[in-house]
Structures are given as C-alpha cells and as structure tokens.
Amino acid sequence: MNKKVILQDLGFKDYKQTWDFQETLFKEIVDLKIRNRREAANLETPNHFLFVEHPHVYTLGKSGDMDNLLVDEKMLQKKGAKFYKINRGGDITYHGPGQIVGYPILDLDNFFTDIHKYLRFLEEMVILTLAEYGLKAERSDGETGVWLDVGTPFARKICAMGVRASRWVTMHGFALNINADLGYFDLMIPCGIKDKAVTSLNVELGKKEVDMDEVKQKLLHHFETLFEAELTKQKTEV
C-alpha cells in the first residue's frame, strides 16, 4: 500500500480549472486500478492532496436543490461569483477568498476502504486543528462537516464537506472558513440546512485576519497522523 501523498498548493485558482485538474488526477488513478485488475499488474497508485483558494463560486452537488441558491444569474454576476453543478455528494456550497479548500484525491485501497471512516477522519483533522486555537468543534448528527456549539440555538458551521468516490478513489473534499466574507453565505441555504448560521475562524478568535499558512500546516500534521500518510510537496502543475 502506497501511503505517500503528493501535496500541491495551487494558490488562488479558478474553480473550473481546479475541478478539471482534479478530474485528471482522479482518472489517472482509476485507470491504473483498472489496468491492475485487467492485467493482473501490481502498479503503485499515487495519492494527491490539493490546497486551493477559489474566487467567489457556488457549487451544487448531485442531490442538491437549485432552490437553495437564493439569487439569480444577474445577482451572481453583480457579486462577481460563478455557479456550477458538480459531481460530488451534498447540496449547495460556497467557496471564496479567505477559505482553505482541500481536495484529497486518494486511493483508499492504500489506506482503508470505508467512505464513512474517510469523512470522519477529514472532520477529525479539522476538529483537532481548531482545538489548537482553543475552539471546541464538533460533528452534528446527520450533517456532514464541522460545527461549533452543536445542540444549542447558536450552532454554526465552520467547515463544509462533500466528496465523490469511485473504485475507492476520492475527489472533492472540505472548505474551512478562515478569513471568509460571511455575507456570501446569505445568498444561499448552506448545504440545504435552514436556520443554521455559518462562521469563520477569524470571527471566532476576534481577529481581523488569521494566518492561513499556519492553519494549513496544522491541518496537514493531523492529516498525516490520522491517515498514517507521508506527505511530499510537489511543484504546482496547474
């Protein structure tokens, strides 16, 4: 099993461009697995982890409801935002500046073949990272992602998640609000969940801005520990 994970920080990149890059990496892994099965080969499958920050964009998952986007195309243009229907699970999600988006593209045959466990590990990675900032983050029953003050009238989401998996290969991932403009969340019903607030790390810490690179390093540390992975940094290709 190959537990090495190639890390690329794509910086500030268009959503569609990044999605296409994800699809390329995803297909390469799936094609290798098909070849291994057909030819009884034993070719090593790679794993990838992409960090990226997107311009304003709304994405709707396969099971999502268009009614959860509360504005029309004209308003999206006015706000400088794009919209895409995509092939992950989950409902509607926003990505934008000040948000750390992570896309692990892993062959789970290299780790464990359990999507439920995979999602719980991604959540745990974020929970442990936020604990380093003195925040008690939690899961919310039946609602994928990471929350604060679960079970109270003040429950608020700080990290959204939505993944796709085929032949135990994953894509898409998580979006953690660090210095996000929360006003953009008012243009949708986040993840299709009504009457729940959204927050950002800088708001919770009472800071104007949180060091995003510092947060990334904490996330990667916990990712390596939870997945027993070995990260190797690679120059950006996209």
Per-residue pLDDT, 194: 59
* Tens of pLDDT, residues 102-143: 999 999 999 999 999 999 999 999 999 999 999 999 999 888
Taking the C-alpha atoms of residue 157 and residue 143, their distance in angstroms, rounded to an integer, is 10
Based on the structure, what is the number of domains in the chain? 1
Domain presence at residue 10: yes
Binding residues: 88-95, 160-162, 173-175
CATH number of the domain to which 200 belongs: 3.30.930.10
Residues annotated as part of the active site: 191
Torsion of CA 115, 120, 121, 126, to 10 degrees: 140
Residue pair 29/45 in contact (Cβ under 8 Å)? The answer is yes
Binding residues for substrate: 88-95, 160-162, 173-175
Q: Which domain holds residue 158?
A: 4-233
Taking the C-alpha atoms of residue 76 and residue 169, their distance in angstroms, rounded to an integer, is 33
Domain presence at residue 104: yes
Domain presence at residue 229: yes
pTM over 0.75: yes
Domain presence at residue 115: yes
Domain presence at residue 113: yes
Domain presence at residue 238: no
Domain presence at residue 192: yes
Domain presence at residue 160: yes
Residue pair 148/189 in contact (Cβ under 8 Å)? The answer is no
